[in-house]
Amino acid sequence: MISAGDFRNGRTFEHEGNVYQIVEFQHVKPGKGAAFVRTKLKNIISGGVVEKTFRPTEKFEEAHIDRRDMQYSYNDGDLYYFMDPETYDMLPINMHEIEDAMRFVKENDICKVMSYKGKVFGVEPPTFVELMVTETEPGFKGDTATNTTKPAKLETGAVIQVPTFIDNNELIRVDTRTGEYMERVK
């Protein structure tokens, strides 16, 4: 059991039949009245975000999220298949549950598959990935004075903004949390 006074970013707990992860929290002690904890919570099953306030003494059951490293194997229609590197078991996951997380993942990448009580609810891709630019317009020579960008299609099909000096068939590093270009890979 954890109390609202022990809240920290990233902790997970059960409340009213849902499982929440703390995105933000703030302990508030007004001049008059009792202290309270203001929170922003993400429902890890549905993905929705809500704001709630709690008394610091309220207690909640802690939710234990299982995060396993698994290798992305292939996509077959509406299913993504992940392989457990220890047992070689294949785990199919419905495309609609993890589609956003798979934008920057290519075959054989290691991802963290997250589950709660055996039910898979999400996939965490590697923080940084190296991907090939497959389609972008050519840049103009000498156009480096400003931070101008252009759209570029990557080998996974995702489209991101890259600097104008990036050309087709270049390997770049991408931050999967923000979807931003980081640097060229040499």
Query: What percent of the chain has a predicted confidence (pLDDT) above 90?
Result: 41
The answer on 57 and 81 residing in a single domain is no
Same domain for 91 and 135, yes or no, is: no
What pLDDT does residue 145 have? 61
Residue range of the domain that includes 81: 66-124
pLDDT at 148: 83
The count of structural domains within the chain is: 3
Do 52 and 9 lie in one domain? The reply is yes
Three-state DSSP class for residue 95 = helix
Q: What is the mean pLDDT of each run of 10 residues along the chain (186 residues)?
A: 85 88 88 90 84 92 89 90 92 83 90 86 88 86 70 92 90 90 89
pLDDT tens per residue, range 72-126: 999 888 899 999 999 999 999 888 878 778 889 999 999 999 888 888 878 888 9
CATH of the domain at 139: 2.40.50.140
Which residue, of 76, 95, 124, is where some domain finishes? Answer: 124
Q: Which of 21, 26, 23, 19 is nearest to 5 (CA)?
A: 26
Report DSSP letters for 109-123, one per residue.
Answer: -EEEEEEETTEEEEE
Whole-number pLDDT of residue 70: 94
Residues 111 and 156 in one domain: no
Q: Specify the pairing of strand 149-154 against strand 36-43.
A: unpaired
Same domain, 132 and 179: yes
Residue 112 has φ and ψ, to the nearest 5°, of: -95, 120
